[in-house]
Chain A
Amino acid sequence: MSSSAETMQFELTSKLDDLKSELGSALKRPDQIKAPQGVATGYKEFDTFLIWGGLPKGEISLFVSKPGLGATTVLSHTCSQVTLRNQWAAWVDHPNYSLCPWVLKRQSCHFDKLLIVSSPTSEKQLIWALSELCSLSLFEIVVCDVTGFTLKRHHLVKIKQLAKRYQVAIVFKDEKPQPFLNSFYAVALQFNQRFLEIQRAQHRPTPMRMERRTIYENFMPQLTEARKAFSRRELPRLQSEGALS
Chain B
Amino acid sequence: MHFREPGLVFVDVGSTSHIFGGEQALMTEALALTKDFYPDATASISDTPFAAQVFSNYYSEYIASPAHEIDELRPMPLTALSHLEGLIAWRSQREIEDLIQFFQILGLNCVGEIKDFEVESFRERWKSTGALLWKRLHGLDKQVISPLEPSVLLEDYIYLDFPISLTSFLLHCLEKSLGKLFARLQGRCEYAQKIQIHLQCEYSNQCHILEIAPAHPSRDLDTYMKLLENKLESVNLENPIKEIEISIMSCGEKVQQLDFWQPRASDDDKLKKLVNVLDQASLTTGYLKLQDALMPEDSWSVASDFETYRAIEDTVEVDGLAYQLKPAYSKNIHHAPRPSLVLKEPKAISRTEFERLQLLSQYPVERIENDWWDQSRGRDYYIALSRQGRCLWVFHDLIEDEYFIHGFFD
Contact = CB atoms under 8 A, between A and B. Distances in A.
A98 B407 CA distance: 9
Interface residues of A, number: 53
B274 interface: yes
A229 B337 CA distance: 13
Interface in A111-131: 111-112, 114-118, 120-121, 125, 128-129
Given A101-B300, A112-B287, A73 B337 contact: no
Contacts of A69: 389-391, 410
B262 interface: no
A119 to B, nearest CB: 8
Interface stretch (A1-9, A13-21, A102-110): A102-110
Contact of A226 (B281, B338, B365, B390): B365
A153 interface: no
Contacts of A65: 410
Contact of B361 (A70, A72, A133, A226): A226
B340 to A, nearest CB: 4
A118 B284 contact: yes
A208 interface: no
Contacts of B309: 111
Contacts of A136: 270-271, 274
B281 A223 contact: no
A76 interface: yes
Given A67-B390, A98-B342, A105-B290, A222 B283 contact: no
A96 B281 CA distance: 19
Contacts of A133: 274
Contact of B277 (A132, A223, A229): A132
Interface string A169-207: 000000000000000000000001110000000000000
A227 interface: yes
Contacts, number: 149
Most buried by B among A66, A98, A101, A133: A101
A96 B317 CA distance: 39
B283 A66 contact: no
Contacts of B342: 97-98, 100
Nearest to B287: A111
Contacts of B338: 100, 102-103
Contact of A76 (B281, B289, B340): B340
Interface in B373-403: 383, 386, 388-392
A104 B288 contact: yes
A189 to B, nearest CB: 13
B341 A97 contact: yes
A103 B306 contact: no
B389 A193 contact: yes
A121 B336 CA distance: 33
Most buried by B among A68, A227, A230: A68
Contacts of A230: 360-361
Interface string A64-92: 01111111110010000000000010000
A115 B287 contact: yes
A120 B283 CA distance: 7
Interface string B284-310: 111111100000100110100010110
A230 B361 CA distance: 6
B299 A138 contact: no
B392 A129 contact: no
Contacts of B103: none
Interface string B327-339: 0000001111111
A88 B266 CA distance: 13
Contacts of A115: 271, 274, 285-287
Nearest to B338: A102
Given A100-B341, A100-B342, A133-B274, A68 B386 contact: yes
Contacts of B365: 226
A73 B410 contact: yes
Contact of B339 (A71, A100, A112, A129): A100
B344 interface: yes
Interface string A128-159: 11001100101000000000000000000000
B409 interface: yes
A-B residue pairs, 9 tightest by C-beta = A68-B390, A193-B389, A72-B410, A222-B337, A68-B408, A67-B408, A118-B284, A101-B288, A105-B334
Given A76-B340, A115-B271, A223-B337, 9 more contacts: A102-B300, A106-B335, A115-B286, A115-B287, A116-B286, A116-B302, A117-B284, A138-B271, A193-B388
9 contacts: A72-B410, A96-B343, A98-B344, A99-B288, A100-B300, A118-B283, A132-B274, A194-B389, A216-B409
Interface of A: 65-73, 76, 88, 94, 96-106, 111-112, 114-118, 120-121, 125, 128-129, 132-133, 136, 138, 192-194, 212, 216, 220, 222-223, 226-227, 229-230, 233-234
